[in-house]
Structure 1
Amino acid sequence: MRDRIKVLIVDDSALMRKALKEIMITDKTIEVVGAARDGQDAIDKAGEMQPDVITMDINMPVMDGLTSMQHILNDHPKIPIIIISSLSTEGALTTFEALALGAFDYVAKPSGTVSSNIHVVGKEIIDKVKLAYKSANRNSLNGRIKARSAAAEKKTVASQRKSPAPGSNELSAVVVIGVSTGGPGTLMEVLPRLPSDLKAAVVVVQHMPASFTSSFARRMSEACAISFKEAEACDILANGRGYLAPGGYQLLVHRDGKLLRLSSSPETQFMPSVNVTMASVLERCGGERMVGVIMTGMGDDGADTMVKVREAGGITIAEDESTAIVFGMPQEAIKRGGAEIVAPSYKIAGEIVKAVNRIRSNRKI
């Protein structure tokens, strides 16, 4: 029998440690090699047990998960860490901080710090443990840990930026970005590099729980030169403005091609869905005014519509395997012929700007 994925569980709750172990051992490819009750214990056991993957709680005594994670990644940069966090606003903010510092991904506890029903996200936990293990030795992940740690030391720079000047309601083009697993960190690399005078609206569809999207939108607003917010019904698409699709809804464009609306249908595996939002923008705005972007994520959401956008004259961009934390979504877009341009994450902002300029030039705006 081949070696199993060795997992270290870190949580101060004995109930959570037991429940997480019960989830893990249902999969024959995973072995729980140990459990730690606080951050310091996690550091000690990470060195002793050399796990393949660590699941990490945030709020713990002695040493919190965020501090512990930084020590572990410094000493063992190839061990991916999955944050197991609460759905609260505070939990969301800390989770994004962890992602910025190099965490592989996160799973949201369904009902607070101690979730007796953690089993409802059991499949998600197992899937992400496997993805983390698969990605552990990739240069893209290890390089990003170093890059994000360096960026964290400079995080005050963005907060010192001047707020962008209020724009008009002019709309030259629409950029739709679809992203999933590994997305928050990747978006933090791409979106802050877009200029404040971008002649396009930017719509971001990130697979994320409803209680997380408002906090993430605020974080992006602080980091970006363009105006950025969580999308609401009746928001108007405009140049130099960014909109994050809210969790639990489909983000659609009204028939006038500018007005946003939210809908609980169609029901899809992910709410919001990249395919649904891209298709709506394509229908209302037309391919000749659209840029489709697919970056890191599990599965194939957005791949089919990227093909349609390209066929309709739109410009499509997929993240290259060299930087994608999870190459699923961009790989599917590329395989199906939906990616005109393939670029690493650090070049995607530049490709978006060039694409918007191409659209303006073609339309002689």
Structure 2
Amino acid sequence: MPVKVLVVDDSGFFRRRLVEIFSADPRLQVVGTANNGREAVDKVQALSPDVVTMDYEMPVLDGISAVSEIMKRKPTPVLMFSSLTHEGARVTLDALEAGAVDFMPKNFEDISRDSAVVKRALVDRVLTVARTRVGASFKPTARTATKVEPRPIVVSGDRGVIIPRARKKVSLVAIGTSTGGPMALQAVLTRLPKDFPVPLVLVQHMPAAFTHAFADRLNNICQIKVKEAEDGDKLTPGVALLAPGGKQMMVDSRNGGCVRILEGDERLNYKPSVDITFGSASKCYPGKVLSVVMTGMGADGRDGARMLKNSGSRVWIQSEDSCVIYGMPQAVEKAGLADDVIHLDHIGERIVKEVG
């Protein structure tokens, strides 16, 4: 069965182009279009689409209000289109808070070109968003509370005595996430107290124009300080540094601990990349990092988690039932790297307990 799509946009040109692109793929079926938010809410009720693509600036009812009403009446995965500006970032974050799953830049020039790359990216994103869970009231499950004990190590000696791996005090908390991450990070970081005793580094897959606005939003609602990382920023207790979009953030042990911001390598799929930040942290703070891989598609974070585990650090993942997309945590779990599987509602309090 093809995925049913409702296309919502007040631009006739943009609407037609999306319909053309989606209709050309047998995995998708466009079941309707709408040119304002009010019409979108009504058509979600009438047509029961699997996914909605939504513009944010529309007459009668704007995109954010439309998303909010859809989530109240008939929760449906929504992919927002937004401009790559500071205002576009602010509006997109509002839409995600209202219940939208993910977003894509609205670029008329890209969409007007007959680009196979753009078409494939659009279709893949719609298919991914259609598979996400929305509007659910997530509750902890028995699996959520499962504790994976640290693996023992063999100590050399006549009898080869096996003792538990020594646990070092946490010196750094590192969190990586992607689709569904903005609201997940908000849920975790708002649980941390003002006097949180260690520094944090955050990696969220997000365009360059969005990370500054996202850091500001987190800083306004959290007790800890959150800022978009700049090259040379010191790692400071109670301060979370968010990797800037389009670049890579590496942890550096010099100068008492800081971050280095590097231009993103075009060969890497993710800019910023969780693997890059986690991998550098494993070298600077061997055995002393508490890392968490949260909701997102793909496998970014798995290789970095392996490096952290090999250095003796702890790796946690968000539970499947509380993820928007279980891709990144699942990749870590399948690789046998997860020390603990934790429901989103409990990650913040567990971090506080772990760092003591």
Q: Tell me whether the two structures share a fold, i.e. TM-score over 0.5.
A: yes
Which deviations, in whole Å up to 9, do the C-alpha atoms of 1:198-219 show, x marking residues without a partner?
Answer: 1111111000000000000100
Which deviations, in whole Å up to 9, do the C-alpha atoms of 1:75-131 show, x marking residues without a partner?
Answer: 112x1111111111111111111111111111122469x964596643333223222
Q: Which residue of 2 aligns with 1:88?
A: 85
The secondary structure found in structure 1 opposite 2:121 is helix
Give the letter aligned to residue 306 of structure 2. V
More divergent stretch after superposition (116-125 vs 271-280): 116-125
Per the alignment, do residues 266 and 88 of structure 1 end up closer, same or farther by CA in structure 2, a change over 3 Å counting? closer
Match of 2:179 among 168, 178, 181: 181
Superposed counterparts of 1:282-297, under 5 Å = 282-286=282-286, 288-297=287-296
Give the letter aligned to residue 177 of structure 2. V
Per the alignment, do residues 274 and 118 of structure 1 end up closer, same or farther by CA in structure 2, a change over 3 Å counting? farther
Note the C-alpha offset of 1:67: 1.2
Note the C-alpha offset of 1:37: 0.7
The secondary structure found in structure 2 opposite 1:135 is coil
Which consecutive residues of structure 2, in runs of 5 or more, have no partner in the other structure? 139-168
CA distance in 2, matches of 1:175, 1:5: 39
CA distance in 2, matches of 1:110, 1:273: 24
Note the C-alpha offset of 1:309: 1.0
Considering fraction of residues, name the structure with more helix.
Answer: 1
Per the alignment, do residues 111 and 281 of structure 1 end up closer, same or farther by CA in structure 2, a change over 3 Å counting? farther
Would the aligned equivalents of 1:246 and 1:272 in 2 still touch at CA under 8 Å? yes
Q: Which residue of 2 aligns with 1:275?
A: 275
The secondary structure found in structure 2 opposite 1:263 is strand
**Structure 1 length-normalised TM:** 0.84
Q: Which residue of 2 aligns with 1:325?
A: 324
Give the letter aligned to residue 99 of structure 1. L
Match of 2:218 among 210, 217, 220: 220
Which consecutive residues of structure 1, in runs of 5 or more, have no partner in the other structure? 145-170, 358-365
Match of 2:98 among 101, 105, 127: 101
Q: Which residue of 2 aligns with 1:352?
A: 351
- Give the 4+ runs in structure 1 shifted more than 6 A: none
Per the alignment, do residues 46 and 174 of structure 1 end up closer, same or farther by CA in structure 2, a change over 3 Å counting? same
Would the aligned equivalents of 2:246 and 2:264 in 1 still touch at CA under 8 Å? no
Which deviations, in whole Å up to 9, do the C-alpha atoms of 1:246-295 show, x marking residues without a partner?
Answer: 00111012351612111125441010100001111111222x22111100
CA distance in 2, matches of 1:321, 1:118: 37
Per the alignment, do residues 110 and 277 of structure 1 end up closer, same or farther by CA in structure 2, a change over 3 Å counting? farther
CA distance in 1, matches of 2:177, 2:170: 23
Note the C-alpha offset of 1:308: 2.1
**What's the RMSD between the two structures over aligned residues?**
2.0
Note the C-alpha offset of 1:185: 1.3
Give the letter aligned to residue 280 of structure 1. S
Note the C-alpha offset of 1:355: 2.6
Give the paired residue count: 323
The secondary structure found in structure 1 opposite 2:4 is strand
**Structure 2 length-normalised TM:** 0.86
Would the aligned equivalents of 2:71 and 2:135 in 1 still touch at CA under 8 Å? no
Would the aligned equivalents of 1:11 and 1:57 in 2 still touch at CA under 8 Å? yes
Would the aligned equivalents of 1:183 and 1:296 in 2 still touch at CA under 8 Å? yes
Give the letter aligned to residue 272 of structure 2. P
The secondary structure found in structure 1 opposite 2:348 is helix
Match of 2:136 among 132, 142, 159: 142
Superposed counterparts of 1:1-365, under 5 Å = 3-77=1-75, 79-110=76-107, 116=112, 121-136=118-133, 141-143=135-137, 173-256=171-254, 258-267=257-266, 268-286=268-286, 288-357=287-356
The secondary structure found in structure 1 opposite 2:33 is strand
CA distance in 2, matches of 1:110, 1:294: 31
Per the alignment, do residues 118 and 213 of structure 1 end up closer, same or farther by CA in structure 2, a change over 3 Å counting? farther
Larger radius of gyration: 2
The secondary structure found in structure 2 opposite 1:322 is helix
Q: What percentage of aligned pairs have identical amino acids? A: 39
CA distance in 1, matches of 2:11, 2:194: 45
Note the C-alpha offset of 1:354: 2.5
Per the alignment, do residues 225 and 310 of structure 1 end up closer, same or farther by CA in structure 2, a change over 3 Å counting? same
The secondary structure found in structure 2 opposite 1:143 is coil
Note the C-alpha offset of 1:356: 1.8
CA distance in 2, matches of 1:118, 1:207: 26
Note the C-alpha offset of 1:51: 1.1
Note the C-alpha offset of 1:26: 3.3
Give the letter aligned to residue 100 of structure 1. E
Would the aligned equivalents of 1:110 and 1:118 in 2 still touch at CA under 8 Å? no
Note the C-alpha offset of 1:172: 6.2
